[in-house]
């Protein structure tokens, strides 16, 4: 009997494998840059058994050595030449954790080799670089994703579903308000290698406007299904010039849509760390507190509180596992969802317009470049 069952089992396995329903595939990752404060995520909680780290590129030898010692990485993994690393270790995907200005060079090196890319937010320091990165990604048919911490907040997805799909009942969105930031990078004690470029207008593209303004632009693009904004008005300030002499530490951005408005409040001056939002529709509202807690109400109904559940929503809370799943075809990002290239190109359009508005003191119309 067993001899008859074994061939059947093998056949079923091969059938499932051919339709992509096999066990999770191991994906080879390489890290490109280590100076971003989020780079430890991969080592401390993000790396799974289905991921293999095959290389680490970091041009700063002293920082690279300290990082290697901290996480007990084999010396053979460490590279100071990006192109050499990519050619030798042949990763499936790279995780880019260096200065934002280096994102373009990472894509230039990886895309022609068919290597997928996930960069830390935002996509680029400026719209021109972002557009060039997009062209490279499309030409070489690679995935180019942007990682935001709030991309994998269950509360973000729950808020989206209150206004969309089966759970919709809050009516058309009229106003979105986003609060993102903290007391300031120096004040919270980010590493010197991170602080050096985070407060550089060239290497980071700006200050709080870029660092935290991108979060609101990213989520509103998702909530609005990629609808193009009509205009952007922004005001930036530097309240702590003794700490941040070269970049803004405060930004308020108004994004006008045909029938809705988004307000982004990005700051290095909050008295506490915050990543929360308010979304108001014709028939109800949703206010998130953090990654999973939120409160909501519709007309005539008492406000309720809930804790969004990632499993029930079917969302991934590990950005590296999400990237792995996209690479092997287990996940297909929904149109204009937070990680996607199309979403983040629009984010860059909003940030670009916000910079121009802050510089000129005028509203910038998005159809007037």
Convert 43-92 into a string of H (helix), E (strand) and C (coil).
HHHHCCCCEEEEEEECCCHHHHHHHHHHCCCCHHHEECCHHHHHHHHCCC
Domains along the sequence of the chain with CATH? 2-148 (3.40.50.720), 151-315+334-365 (3.30.360.10)
In the prediction, which pLDDT does 10 show?
A: 40
pLDDT at 278: 98
pLDDT value of position 25: 80
Residue 24: the pLDDT is 61
pTM: 0.92
Question: 295 to each of 157, 281, 292, how far by Cα in Å?
Answer: 14, 14, 10
Taking only the tens of pLDDT, the chain with its 369 residues reads 433 443 444 444 344 344 443 456 899 999 999 999 999 999 999 999 999 999 999 999 999 999 999 999 999 999 999 999 999 999 999 999 999 999 999 999 999 999 999 999 999 999 999 999 999 999 999 999 999 999 999 999 999 999 986 656 899 999 999 999 999 999 999 999 999 999 999 999 999 999 999 999 999 999 999 999 999 999 999 999 999 999 999 999 999 999 999 999 999 999 999 999 999 999 999 999 999 999 999 998 999 999 999 999 998 999 999 999 999 999 999 999 999 999 999 999 999 999 999 999 999 999 754
């Amino acid at each position: 009997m067993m001899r008859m069952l074994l061939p059947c089992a093998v056949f079923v396995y091969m059938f499932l494998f051919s339709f992509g329903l096999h066990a999770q595939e191991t994906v080879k990752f390489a890290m490109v840059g280590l100076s971003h404060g989020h780079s430890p995520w991969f080592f401390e909680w993000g790396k799974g058994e289905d991921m293999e780290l095959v290389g680490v590129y970091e041009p700063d030898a002293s920082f690279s050595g300290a990082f290697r010692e901290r996480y007990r990485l084999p010396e053979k993994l460490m590279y100071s030449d990006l192109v050499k690393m990519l050619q030798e270790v042949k990763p499936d995907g790279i995780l880019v954790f260096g200065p934002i200005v280096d994102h373009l060079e990472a894509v230039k090196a990886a895309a022609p080799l068919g290597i997928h890319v996930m960069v830390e937010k935002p996509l680029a320091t400026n719209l021109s670089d972002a557009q060039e990165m997009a062209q490279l990604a499309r030409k070489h048919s690679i995935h180019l994703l942007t990682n935001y911490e709030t991309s994998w907040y269950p509360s973000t997805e729950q808020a989206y579903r209150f206004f969309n799909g089966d759970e919709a009942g809050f009516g058309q969105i009229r106003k979105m308000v986003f609060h993102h930031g903290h007391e300031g990078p120096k004040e919270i004690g980010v590493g010197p290698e991170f602080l050096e470029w985070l407060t550089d207008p060239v290497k980071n593209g700006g200050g709080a406007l870029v660092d935290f303004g991108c979060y609101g632009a990213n989520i509103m693009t998702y909530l609005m299904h990629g609808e193009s904004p009509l205009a952007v008005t922004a005001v930036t300030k530097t309240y702590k010039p003794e700490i941040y002499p070269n970049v803004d530490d405060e930004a308020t951005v108004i994004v006008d849509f045909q029938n809705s408005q988004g307000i982004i409040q990005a700051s290095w001056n909050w008295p506490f760390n915050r990543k929360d939002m308010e979304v108001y529709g014709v028939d109800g509202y949703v206010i998130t507190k953090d990654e999973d807690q939120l409160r909501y109400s519709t007309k005539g109904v008492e406000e309720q509180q809930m804790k969004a559940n990632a499993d029930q929503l079917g969302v991934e809370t590990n950005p590296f596992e999400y990237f792995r799943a996209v690479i092997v075809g287990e996940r297909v990002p929904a149109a204009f969802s937070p990680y996607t290239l199309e979403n983040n190109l629009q984010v860059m359009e909003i940030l670009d317009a916000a910079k121009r508005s802050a510089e000129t003191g005028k509203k910038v119309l998005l159809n007037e470049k």
